[in-house]
């Protein structure tokens, strides 16, 4: 069972962030709907020929460059979840279990409020579900894969696309850009294992190249742990900035957190 009764009860009482009639804009701030037909708007840099009436002056002052509001087309679907099933996601069992739980939780929230949800895993797309139990059954049958996530998956254009991935590959930058073009709003949930965030000095670790099936065993020193953590923070900052520049939300979590704590970050 992916979710217990207490988790299901809590999830049915909360809402996904876009249901607050807002999208996130520059620097992760929320941007309200424009009022013109309740269509969401994307903030982007001013380009020659843009209608000056669409300049967003508060955003322009905040980022110190001309910024305009661009209407976003309403997509046919509601919530589409892309679950990364590539090898790096299931090397650590608790990370894979967490990712599936998050995937299940998103669909519970959506269907509890009358929204439709679909998923993609291992390049296979589910039907649109309006029923919570049907969604949970689909997630329970999702299997880990030997196929890495591509940079341009054939996702279903949707109002909200949510990517759940450990983002351990350089192609994620192209992937985020591609997904943003297919959705009115994009959320990236960066899922890591606790041991990937804070490895313990003195322990032996085996590094897996899950794409090439290679591995090497190392003994961690305090210096190597610090170097690793510095590199991880640099990588996460690159991801955060890239998401921000494409008007996408970024949430980082690890398997040492409770599902409620993770979902509180997702829905805030």
Confidence at residue 209, expressed as pLDDT on a 0 to 100 scale:
57
Residues 32 and 127 occupy one common structural domain: no
Verdict on whether the full-model pTM lies above 0.85: no
Residues 158 and 87 occupy one common structural domain: yes
Confidence at residue 34, expressed as pLDDT on a 0 to 100 scale:
39
Residues 60 and 175 occupy one common structural domain: no
Whether 203 is covered by a domain: the verdict is: no
Roughly what angle, to the nearest 10 degrees, separates helices 172-181 and 222-245? 20
Of the listed ranges 56-65, 137-146, 186-195, the one predicted with least confidence: 56-65
Residues 151 and 261 occupy one common structural domain: yes
Confidence at residue 121, expressed as pLDDT on a 0 to 100 scale:
94
* pLDDT tens-digit readout, 194-251: 988 988 787 766 665 555 556 667 778 888 888 888 989 999 999 999 999 988 999 9
Q: Rounded to an integer, what distance in angstroms lies between the CA atom of residue 143 and that of residue 125?
A: 13
The stretch 164-179 carries a mean pLDDT of: 91
Whether 5 is covered by a domain: the verdict is: no
DSSP letters for 89-141: HHSSHHHHHHHHHHHHHHHHHHHHTT--EEEEETTEEPPPB-SHHHHHHHHHT
Whether 204 is covered by a domain: the verdict is: no
For residue 219, which phi and psi values (nearest 5 degrees)? Answer: -100, 125
* pLDDT tens-digit readout, 133-162: 999 999 999 998 888 888 888 888 888 999
Residues 40 and 96 occupy one common structural domain: no
The pLDDT > 70 percentage for the chain reads 83
Q: Rounded to an integer, what distance in angstroms lies between the CA atom of residue 36 and that of residue 264?
A: 30
In sequence order, what are the beta bridge partners of 214? 209
Domain housing 36: 17-71
Residues 65 and 102 occupy one common structural domain: no
* Confidence label for 94 from pLDDT (cuts 50, 70 and 90): very high
Number of structural domains the chain divides into: 2
Residue position matching structure tokens 């997509």? 75
Residues 51 and 124 occupy one common structural domain: no
- Identify the residue with better confidence: 44 or 263: 263
The pLDDT > 90 percentage for the chain reads 48
16 near 185, Cβ under 8 Å?
no
Residue of 215, 155, 205, 204 lying closest to 180 (CA atoms): 155
Residues 121 and 253 occupy one common structural domain: yes
Residue position matching structure tokens 């001013």? 46
Residues 113 and 144 occupy one common structural domain: yes
Residues 57 and 96 occupy one common structural domain: no
Confidence at residue 127, expressed as pLDDT on a 0 to 100 scale:
93
Residues 120 and 186 occupy one common structural domain: yes
* pLDDT tens-digit readout, 2-18: 999 999 999 999 998 86
Residues 143 and 260 occupy one common structural domain: yes
Domain end marker among 71, 90, 115: 71
Whether 224 is covered by a domain: the verdict is: no
Mean pLDDT score of the chain: 84
Helices (DSSP H) in the chain: which residue ranges? 5-11, 57-63, 87-90, 93-112, 132-140, 172-181, 194-197, 222-245, 259-267
Domain of residue 133, CATH code: 3.40.50.410
């Amino acid at each position: 069972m992916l979710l217990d009764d207490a988790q299901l009860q809590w999830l049915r009482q909360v809402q996904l962030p876009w249901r607050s009639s807002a999208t996130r804009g520059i620097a992760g701030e929320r941007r309200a709907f424009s009022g013109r037909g309740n269509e969401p708007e994307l903030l982007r840099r001013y380009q020659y020929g843009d209608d000056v009436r669409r300049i967003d002056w508060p955003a322009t002052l905040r980022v110190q460059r001309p910024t305009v509001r661009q209407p976003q087309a309403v997509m046919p679907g509601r919530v589409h979840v892309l679950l990364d099933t590539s090898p790096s996601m299931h090397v650590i069992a608790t990370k894979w279990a967490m990712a599936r739980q998050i995937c299940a939780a998103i669909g519970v929230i959506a269907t509890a409020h009358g929204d439709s949800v679909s998923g993609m895993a291992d390049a296979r797309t589910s039907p649109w579900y309006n029923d919570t139990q049907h969604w949970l059954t689909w997630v329970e049958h999702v299997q880990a894969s030997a196929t890495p996530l591509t940079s341009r998956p054939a996702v279903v254009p949707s109002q909200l696309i949510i990517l759940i991935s450990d983002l351990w590959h350089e192609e994620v930058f192209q992937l985020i850009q591609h997904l943003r073009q297919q959705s009115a709003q994009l959320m990236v949930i960066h899922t890591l294992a606790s041991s990937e965030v804070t490895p313990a000095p003195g322990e032996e670790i085996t590094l897996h190249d899950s794409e090439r099936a290679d591995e090497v065993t190392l003994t961690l020193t305090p210096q190597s742990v610090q170097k690793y953590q510095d590199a991880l923070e640099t990588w996460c900052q690159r991801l955060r900035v890239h998401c921000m520049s494409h008007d996408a939300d970024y949430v980082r979590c690890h398997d040492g957190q409770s599902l409620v704590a993770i979902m509180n970050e997702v829905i805030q």
